[in-house]
Structure 1
Amino acid sequence: MSRHTGSARHRTHGSRTQDQSPEELVEQVKSIVTLLYEVVSSRPHEWEAYVPSARSAMTALDRLRFFRDPARFAEQVWILQGLQDFAYHDADSGCIRDIAEYCQASWLRILRNYPENVETLTGLGRNWLQRAQATLARIHREEGDSSSGGSGGSGGQTGNSLDVDCDWKSEDDSNYIKATLSADPRRQGPLYVEARGYLQPAVDFYTRAIQSADALGSTTGDLLAAAAESQMSLGNVSGTPADERFFAQAIRYLRRAQALPGYTLSVYLGQYLNDYGRYVS
């Protein structure tokens, strides 16, 4: 094929895109996002080939001012969840930064219309928690920590939370938690500061999501487990006494999740609750 022919075809495709109606563009974006969901779930090793498609979907959404329309809320959530899963397809290794940041900005735009919406607050909490994973993984690598965080809640959260290494007091002192790692001066190092910068917003948004869900009587085990993971992760990169508060709140969320009919914690979170739950009132 000649260069001239290729250019002509490109111009024709561009003209066709411009001629599409808004609804046709939305359907095209949905097709792309459906494909991204499939890539993440069944062939994540092929992610790089689909980055241009994801970016073209973002361009089309911006052209349509799609996230300014409060009437399309359900579609907005579904599209952003798909883009975000794709952006963080391997969160321990990092993210596709421009797509991750696009999702965050779009969630915030939706939040203006629905400031107490559980799905929107959860989407933001998950964005920040996933963003922290690469920094937490780097801390593991650089410090040669032999203990490794497991996956998050069974609702699809991916996590590499640093495992808490605690020197618990006796059960008679169960209201007191002494985390020996919190005294480590490395907690003031740049990686820990970076991790806290990502994890504090995650904790804040998940806390708000649970408050909204509680008000509606719709709190799920997946939400509680993800919120617990954010608390555990922030506790692991914080110093005393803040870390004690984060670890204790994680246990309380896990207890609530475990008590929900039909819900089962992941093996990792269930073990964490079994090991440390008795020390938190």
Structure 2
Amino acid sequence: MSRHSGSSRQRSHKSRSTDQEPEDLVEQVKSIVTLLYEVVSSCSHEWETYVPSARSAMTALDRIHFFRDPQRYDEQVWMLHGIQDFAYHDADSGCIRDMAEWCQSAWLRILRNYPRKCRDSYRNWLQRSQATLARIHREEGSDSSSQGSGNLFDFDTDQDSDDDIASPPSDPRREGPLYVEARGYLQPAVDFYGRAVRSADALGSTTGDLLALAAESQMSLGNVTGPPGDERHFSHAIRYLRRAEEIPGYTLSIYLQHYLNDYGRYVS
């Protein structure tokens, strides 16, 4: 996809963005979001070229109050994932902040319409935390970080008891601004994923993917929380992973399976 072709499509979208019927506007936004998916997957280095198109899509959806419609869940989720993935095209370096905040507001509106169904909004908080976690990793070195998802791990497994995960010694860095910022992003993810798991359990629709994401949110928050709170998050993560592992046909990622194998024996 060339920069020139993308720019010409942007002009076309902009020229048709006024005085349109809502359904025509929705179709126009879908074409923009399709383009954003293509940019993220194949030419993310050209992301700046497509920022005006993404913002025009956001403006159009706000104009027609698209996320107030309780009957268009699948379309809403698909569009939001496209815009959100574009906003976090390089999550370790940060995000396009106004788009990320717009996505979070849109997810919350969907959540009000679908309190039992909408689990996709919770991923936003995990994505928002990645840049902060990456900064902690860069500033503090590889000995306090894990490989795989950018989460930080610091376990002391040289212990006599197999009942609990031993908390690391108190670390004053965990009260520093980066850790506080990371907890601000991750606590909502933990809360929302916990709510999603409870809702899914009540409906008998709990999936391995949901449990794995809930575990990752707990692991991430545990890594930026000082003792004794960190132990509680790590223990919750292990319990989620055990449940996911028991679901027929579901396989944990290699990273999560190693985590469960290494640390599961410390949680009763």
| TM-score normalised by structure 2 residue count | 0.90
Gaps of 5+ in 1: 1-9, 152-158
Pair 66,138 (structure 1): closer, same or farther in 2 beyond 3 Å: same
Aligned-residue RMSD, C-alpha: 1.8
Indicate if the aligned counterparts of 2:155 and 2:166 stay in contact, CA closer than 8 A: no
Whether the aligned pair in 1 keeps the contact of 2:163 and 2:265 (CA below 8 Å) is no
Q: Does the CA-based 8 Å contact 2:155-2:165 persist in structure 1?
A: no
Change (3 A) 1:85 1:149: farther
Q: Give the secondary structure class of the aligned counterpart of 1:123.
A: coil
| More deviation, 142-151/199-208 | 142-151
How many angstroms apart in 2 are the aligned matches of 1:21 and 1:225? Answer: 42
Query: Counterparts of 1:24-103 in structure 2 under 5 Å?
Result: 24-103=24-103
Give the Cα–Cα distance (whole angstroms) in 2 for the partners of residues 124 and 104 of structure 1.
7
Contact 2:39–2:47 (8 Å) recurs in 1: yes
Give the direction of change, closer, same or farther, for the CA distance of 1:236–1:56 in structure 2 (3 Å limit). same
Any residues of structure 2 matched to 1:231-246 within 5 Å, and which? 231-246=218-233
> How far has the Cα of 1:36 moved from its partner?
1.5
Tell me the equivalent position of 2:146: 149
Give the conservation status (yes or no) of the 8 Å contact 1:164–1:232.
no
**More deviation in 187-196 or 17-26?**
17-26
TM-superposition CA deviations, 1:223-243 (whole Å, max 9, x none): 111111110011011111111
Q: Deviations over 1:209-258 (max 9, x none)?
A: 11111112221111111111110011011111111110001011111112
The structure-2 alpha-carbon separation of the partners of 1:96 and 1:270, relative to structure 1 and needing over 3 Å to count, comes to same
Question: How far apart are the structure 1 equivalents of 2:66 and 2:16?
Answer: 20
For normalisation by structure 1, the TM-score amounts to 0.86
Aligned amino acid, residue 188 of structure 1: E
CA contact (8 A) 1:149 1:160 kept: yes
1:208-223 matched pairs, under 5 angstroms: 208-223=195-210
The CA distance in 2 between the partners of 1:116 and 1:13, in whole Å, is: 35
Alpha-carbon distance change, 28 to 167 in structure 1, aligned in 2, over 3 angstroms:
same
Structure 1 residue 179 displacement after superposition: 2.0
Which letter maps to 2:245? Q
**Cα distance between partner residues in 1 of 2:248 and 2:85:** 28
Match of 1:3 in 2: none
- Pairing partner for 2:156 from 155, 163, 166: 166
Query: Are the structure 2 counterparts of residues 26 and 185 from structure 1 closer, same or farther at C-alpha, using a change threshold of 3 Å?
Result: same
> 1:178 is matched by which residue type in structure 2?
A
CA contact (8 A) 1:116 1:212 kept: yes
Is the counterpart of residue 139 in structure 1 residue 136 in structure 2?
Answer: yes
Deviations 1:171-226 (A, max 9, x none): xx222221215x11111111111111111001001111111111122211111111
Q: Deviations over 1:44-66 (max 9, x none)?
A: 22222221111110011011111
- Matched residues in 2 for 1:19 and 1:216: separation? 43
Q: Is the 8 A contact 1:248 1:280 kept in 2?
A: yes
Measure, in 2, the Cα distance between the counterparts of 1:13 and 1:128: 30
Q: Which residue of 2 aligns with 1:175?
A: 163
Q: Does 2:123 correspond to 1:126?
A: yes
How far does residue 168 in structure 1 lie from its aligned partner after superposition?
Answer: 4.3
Give, in angstroms, the shift of residue 14 of structure 1: 5.8
Cα deviation for residue 30 of structure 1 reads 0.8
Q: 1:276 to 1:216 in 2, by over 3 A?
A: same
Q: Which runs of 5+ in 2 are unaligned?
A: 1-10
Structure 2 counterpart SS, 1:138 = helix
Asked if 1:22 corresponds to 2:22, the answer is yes
Match of 2:8 in 1: none
Change (3 A) 1:13 1:57: closer
Match of 2:112 in 1: 112
User: Structure 1 counterpart of 2:153, which letter?
Assistant: D
Q: Is the 8 A contact 1:40 1:86 kept in 2?
A: yes
1:254 and 2:241 are equivalent in the alignment: yes
Q: CA shift at 1:147, angstroms?
A: 5.0
Q: Distance in 2 between matches of 1:15 and 1:180?
A: 58
Distance between the aligned counterparts of 1:13 and 1:32, measured in 2?
A: 8
Could you tell me how far apart the structure 1 residues matched to 2:207 and 2:14 are?
A: 44
